Structure 1
């Protein structure tokens, strides 16, 4: 008898599957902000589980900011995912204002260092050339929705490190550095899992789904002026591609 049987496949916890389904219900508009969700008993009957499992799923959604609970009243939808279009012109503040949300940013760090291989390739600069790196946290209505890292070639954006320290706006900082306008040249989307520090910043659990956008912005002459990576909380943002 063979002992080479394939190992059993890992299974998604039931509570996590329920949370994913409820998140989809909210994202697709079955429940709107302020709406009361079905009771724990009703959800338990719907999914064929006990109320403890339902409570676990709801707690996860509460931690993510999508659901709020009131003792004796039940669970309510706190927010729906923010619509965030990705096209030739991507502007954080404009996107959130258009979605009816209040935008904000927290600067986590600004540093100047030598470019890595990937950064040099994306920005069309020599390996080791000087770049400015801007780390930050994007918020909508005071809730964290994304972590970002923007890398700027200092030979094309002189003084941007100082400008970023004075304003959290990339558009304003680039303008002060002589880049009056810029457009998106490319965007690559990849599904990833949150590491422990990303989870802390985004108020998630380690291993929760994130959507990573890797992009390059160019100036009017087509020269790269920003290489960025953004990690969006998967249940708080709906990315839409514009043509």
Structure 2
């Protein structure tokens, strides 16, 4: 009978610990050094075991932070009104965003078509990371017509909220006109932002939000970690 590899035995032991509740979803596993000490093996063997658990979806890793027990994906509703922060907070979790960059530049062809603006018009482009309980779950690019919202970047830096920034510009309500969802493979940049391996499968959402007169006010592209978000399309 073939001998079971040590790394596989370690993976099975950790799996049982997770099943028994010794490690709760979202909590960090002991460090490689601690696990190596516990199982009396070298760190390479522990790393092999953790990698196997990642492949099985039981564990995920963050660069520089270690390994964590996988979290059951949260249900994110895509309906007439899509408000990421409100939806996540309604589920009892903290939601936040980190703005990576905010620039004003000429709109490209796809942005002009989505927003219904002319060739020479500019747009505000905001890039950022969406967080749930301090875990990065989405990488987004939000594009706004600069002529319609000349002070968007200033109000966004103050309110840290797209909805509040719209309200400051007189748009008190808005709805989702279109959402396209596609499974894509992450590039190195998005994988780095979401602490994933390059080549991980993501859910990409391309969307258009409109004001109550039906005029486009936001063109969005968001890449969600499929390990953390499950989308529900409402009809």
* TM-score relative to the length of structure 1: 0.72
How far 1:125 sits from its partner (Å)? Answer: 0.3
Is residue 142 of structure 1 aligned with residue 134 of structure 2?
yes
* 1:63 is aligned to 2:61: yes
Report the counterpart of residue 11 of structure 1 in structure 2. none
RMSD over equivalenced CA pairs, Å: 2.8
Per-residue CA deviation, residues 82-113 of structure 1 (Å, 9 max, x unaligned), is 21111010011111012221101101111111
Residues 1:101 and 2:96 are matched in the alignment:
no
* 1:122 matches 2:114: yes
Give the counterpart of 1:214 among 189, 202, 206: 206
**Residue 57 of structure 1: CA displacement?**
2.1
Name the structure 1 match of 2:171: 179
CA contact (8 A) 1:144 1:203 kept: yes
Equivalents in 2 of 1:59, 1:213: separation in Å? 25
2:138·2:222 contact (CA, 8 Å) conserved in 1? yes
In structure 1, list runs of 5 or more residues that go unmatched.
1-14, 16-21, 36-50, 70-75
Any unmatched runs of 5+ in structure 2? 1-7, 9-14, 26-45
**Hey, what's the Cα distance between the residues in 2 that align with 1:55 and 1:161?**
42
Number of aligned residue pairs: give it. Answer: 195
Residues 55, 159 of structure 1: CA spacing in aligned structure 2 closer, same or farther, 3 A cutoff? closer
Aligned to 2:228: 236
Q: Partners of 2:217 and 2:113 in 1: how far apart?
A: 12
2: CA distance between counterparts of 1:137 and 1:77? 21
Partner of 1:197: 189
Q: CA deviation at 1:222?
A: 0.4
Contact 1:195 1:206 survives alignment (8 Å): yes
Deviation at 1:54, TM superposition (A): 5.2
What is the CA distance between 1:234 and its match in structure 2?
1.3
Indicate if the aligned counterparts of 1:157 and 1:179 stay in contact, CA closer than 8 A.
Answer: no
Equivalent-residue separation in structure 2 for 1:213 and 1:91 (angstroms): 14
Q: What is residue 34 of structure 1 aligned with on the other side? A: 24
* Corresponding position of 1:132: 124
Distance 1:192 1:84 in 2: 18
Separation in 1 of the partners of 2:120 and 2:137? 32
1:52 Cα deviation after fit: 8.4
Q: TM-score, normalised by structure 2?
A: 0.75
- TM-superposition CA deviations, 1:10-53 (whole Å, max 9, x none): xxxxx9xxxxxx9xxx9xxxx9x837xxxxxxxxxxxxxxx986
